[in-house]
Amino acid sequence: MNQNIKYGYHEPTGKVVHIFAARNGLSCQCRCFECNEKLEAVQGTKKEWHFRHNSTSSCKGGPETALHQLAKQIIVENAEIKLPQTILTYTNAFMEQRLGQFTPDVTVSSRQGKVYFEICVTHTIDNPKEQFYRNSEMKSIEIDLRQTARDITPEKLKRQLLDSAQYKRYIYWYPEDEQNAVSHKLESDNNLLRWICLIAAAAGFRYYFLRRRNW
């Protein structure tokens, strides 16, 4: 019997629940993500806590589906996420809202407009979907969880998703001219900082030599 099932689908709330947060036995009110059979929470003192099927099923519990669902749940239940080179603050987060012929995993609202998240657990998004985001100039990010342990705890996954820019890539973000404008602004800011440093250094040398002359 599989003892590696750490997540179940909690029927009353429709959320992913970890074995540590579930009630013991059938009172956990959970079903399997893969076969939809009822799960029983095993929380004894001799074996590692896990869910098991309420039968002799050999089903593995759908760990990829559970991880995918939990990642979406974490993004929806929070309001800030770290991205490459920036932090995105957002509101009105929803799972699987239809967008034309496609369905993003998570859609959020931000000061930059709508932002779409795609979460990769077994494979990256396909080319038609990527081209749709690019051609429509829709801000979108892919989060790659292929190397993430299937039994990761919710707390660790939350930190990985929200506090780290690793394993995230922009599918589409800025138009090319807007991106160039940002690059030019950064370059201008750096040049201004260099001039300020040079002026400060020159003023320091002048003060130093004036003091030496008065000694």
The most confident of the ranges 57-61, 145-149, 210-214 is 145-149
Q: Which helix (H) or strand (E) holds 123?
A: none
pLDDT at residue 44 is higher than 50? yes
* Per-residue model confidence as pLDDT tens digits over 173-208: 986 544 554 555 556 666 667 767 777 666 655 655
In this structure, the chain runs to a length of 215
Under the banding of pLDDT at 50, 70 and 90, the label for residue 69 is: very high
- How far apart CA 172 and CA 154 sit, in angstroms, is 28
Q: Cα(213)–Cα(215) distance, rounded to whole angstroms?
A: 6
Token duo for residue 166 = 């690793």
Q: Distance of CA 13 to CAs 26, 28, 40, 49, 78, Å?
A: 16, 12, 17, 22, 17
Distance CA 161, CA 179 (A): 25
Query: For residues 103-141, b (16+ Cβ closer than 10 Å) or e, as one string?
Result: ebbbbbebeeebbbbbbbbeeebeeebbebbeeeebbbb
What pLDDT is attached to residue 212?
57
Determine the pLDDT at residue 160.
97
Report the pLDDT value the prediction gives residue 174, as an integer from 0 to 100. Answer: 81
0.85 exceeded by pTM: no
Cα–Cα distances in angstroms (integers) from residue 22 to residues 4, 19, 49, 53, 132, in the given order: 15, 5, 10, 15, 40
| The pLDDT value given to residue 193 | 72
> How far is residue 183 from each of residues 7, 177, 179, 207, measured CA to CA in Å?
44, 10, 6, 36
Question: Which has more pLDDT, 116 or 202?
Answer: 116
Domain boundaries, the chain: 7-61, 65-173, 178-215
Say what percent of the chain tops pLDDT 70.
81
Q: Specify the CATH architecture of the domain 65-173.
A: 3-Layer(aba) Sandwich (3.40)
